[in-house]
Structure 1
Amino acid sequence: MTERQGAAVSAEKFGMRGPRGQVFGPVDFTAEAGSLIAVTGPSGSGRTCLLLALTGRMKAGEGLAKVADHPLPKRLAAVRRISALGPVPGVNDLDPALTVTEQLRERVLLQRRFGASLRSLLRPRGERAAASRALLERALEAAGLDLDALPRGGRTPVRRLDRLTELRLSVALALLGGPRLLAVDDLDLKLSDGERADAWALLRSLADAGTTVLAVCSEPPDEQLGAVVVRTGTAEDGPEPADGDTRCADNADNTYEKEGAADALAEAGRA
């Protein structure tokens, strides 16, 4: 995991309007580099759309935002290069058919092949392999994921993981790209109170280490965590689908990146 300074994030009257009305916003906030940002609001208020817009995966049409001096929506690609998605349901879901080790190995290989600099690619194979192992170990440590503590170690199927462990795995995968901005959707979904506290503690530790963290949640964290709270408002403007934010994909004027080989690096923060 490359040591990098977090990205400052700000928004001014930042919003999006789709065929069925306002998708999210307008929102206004300022967060310094290394901040923990909590995006909260009811289902259907555009939380996930705001997350995708602030990470360069979706083009918002109202107002302005800035991520590490890159203005949005003008510099989507630049923001994608310095950001990474943790778990975002329906966008970069873990593969339930793989084991934990296989999921990690796949992302490490992608990172080594497409995310590495030309200089690192010219290093001897043994050095590159050692660097990849060290990168993986740092990402696992930062995410608090102990493979030996899993029921079958690294051979544990992804589909057998509990929700909090899935979160840790997704975060570890995202950290392999050394992002300056890490985004996590539905952080507190299906978590007990204790697990929710552990999840927020994880994100707080990542922010304290320098990475700016943006997390969508149904309820903001305790004030003691010092998060910048961004509220997306209410979902009163018109009917919404069951999962609310899925209407992001209904707007043909915006880019909505689904998981696949072509954009695997975007999800790792290297598009």
Structure 2
Amino acid sequence: MDSPQGAALSAEDFGLKGPRGWAFRDVRFTAGPGSLVAVEGPSGSGRTCLLLALTGRMRATRGHAEVGGERLPGRLAAVRRFSALGPVPGVSELDPSFTVAEHLRERALFQRRFDSSPRALLRSRARRTSSARSLIDTALEAAELDPAALPKAERTSVRDLERLEALRLSVALALMGRPKLLAVDDTDLKLSAADRSRAWELLRTLADGGTTVLAVCSEAPEDALTVRTRPADGAGTPAGDTACGATDETTTEKETADAIAEAGRA
């Protein structure tokens, strides 16, 4: 897969406030194309809302950000066109009843329908099938997911995948859109230390290949540019490349869940 030029990221006084308070605020950082950016913080501290705002899925209410040269919160649709979501609960989850093959075919059809030129739609069925297979194989290779190693190869149901395998599948589906920015939520959730290391190695490889990666986690690797969020009772502004401050107005986990649900309907 040809690696796109990654999207540069920056934010200044970036924040989102809802009916119950701040989801996140005071976010400021700069990251060049092809960076690995880790959004680190405990659950309920606005990590996912920040990820969705930076990928054009939520509209910030304070400050601004620039993603791939597009200014937010104004240019949401433009950012969505070159950013892709890996696993984000409530927004881009895998269907546990689908097989790996079904997910891959569905995404290939989606890409052909919305990303191809009118001339490409007139290709013969054999050429369309070959093109889709090439797209799938390239994405699987980039995500380091080998279907032959799964219990039933591509006929394996998502519910039967290990957590790291499911993460790789979600990343492969996102990469089929050849994004400049890849966003992954809950990167290290329910992973063993060894699998956590493998997950970060995958994301690091993708970033090294040119795709900017934005990954939510509870503990960032040392080599990532780290954006830290914290809950309402956090003490002071955390040290690091940037800070996402919070006060007693910080949103609750229910507020975050409601916001994510709204993003999923968008």
Shared fold, TM over 0.5: yes
Please list, as runs of the form range in 1=range in 2, the aligned pairs for 1:221-260 lying within 5 A after superposition. 221=221, 223=222, 226-236=223-233, 237=248, 245-249=256-260, 256-258=263-265
CA RMSD of aligned residues (A): 1.8
Q: Secondary structure at the match of 1:118?
A: coil
Bigger Cα displacement from structure 2, 82-91 vs 232-241? 232-241
Asked if structure 2 preserves the Cα contact closer than 8 Å seen for 1:2 and 1:177, the reply is no
Tell me the percent identity: 61
CA drift of 1:120 comes to: 2.7
Question: If the length of structure 2 is used for normalisation, what is the TM-score?
Answer: 0.89
Following TM superposition, by how much is the alpha carbon of 1:41 offset from its aligned partner in structure 2, in angstroms? 1.1
What's the CA shift for 1:66?
0.5
| CA distance in structure 1 between the partners assigned to 2:111 and 2:124 by the alignment | 17
Deviations 1:53-81 (A, max 9, x none): 00000000100101111000000000000
Task: Work out the CA distance in 2 between the residues paired with 1:144 and 1:244.
Answer: 35
Q: Assess if the C-alpha contact under 8 Å between 1:24 and 1:49 holds in 2.
A: yes
Where do 5+ consecutive residues of structure 1 fail to align? 264-271
Q: After TM superposition, list the pairs within 5 Å mapping 1:1-271 onto structure 2.
A: 1-221=1-221, 223=222, 226-236=223-233, 237=248, 245-249=256-260, 256-258=263-265
Amino acid at match of 1:81: R
Q: 1:207-245 CA deviation, whole Å, 9 max, x = no partner?
A: 011110000001111x2xx21100123333268655773
**Deviation of residue 2 (structure 1)?**
5.0
Question: Aligned partner of 1:231: which letter?
Answer: R
Consecutive unaligned residues in structure 2, runs of 5 or more: 234-247
TM-score of the pair, normalised by structure 1: 0.88
State whether residues 174 and 182 of structure 1, in contact with CA within 8 Å, keep that contact through their aligned partners in structure 2: yes
Contact 1:44–1:235 (CA<8 Å) still a contact in 2? Answer: no
1:269 is aligned to none
Q: Verify the 8 A CA contact 2:185 2:216 in the aligned structure 1.
A: yes
Deviation track 1:133-170 (CA, whole Å, cap 9, x = no partner) reads 11111100000100000011111111011100000000
Check the 8 A contact 1:34/1:209 in 2, yes or no. Answer: yes
Determine the C-alpha separation between the residues in 1 that align with 2:224 and 2:52: 19
Contact 2:23 2:250 in 1 (8 A): no
Cα offset, 1:106, TM superposition? 1.1
Q: Which residue identity does 1:165 align to in structure 2? A: E
How far is 1:132 from its partner? 1.6
Q: 1:189 to 1:235 in 2, by over 3 A?
A: farther
Would you identify which runs of 4 or more consecutive aligned residues in structure 1 move more than 6 Å?
none
Equivalent in the alignment of 1:268:
none
SS of the residue corresponding to residue 17 of structure 1 reads strand
How far is 1:121 from its partner?
2.6
* Contact map agreement 2:39 2:47 (CA 8 A) in 1: yes
Local SS of the residue matching 1:102: helix
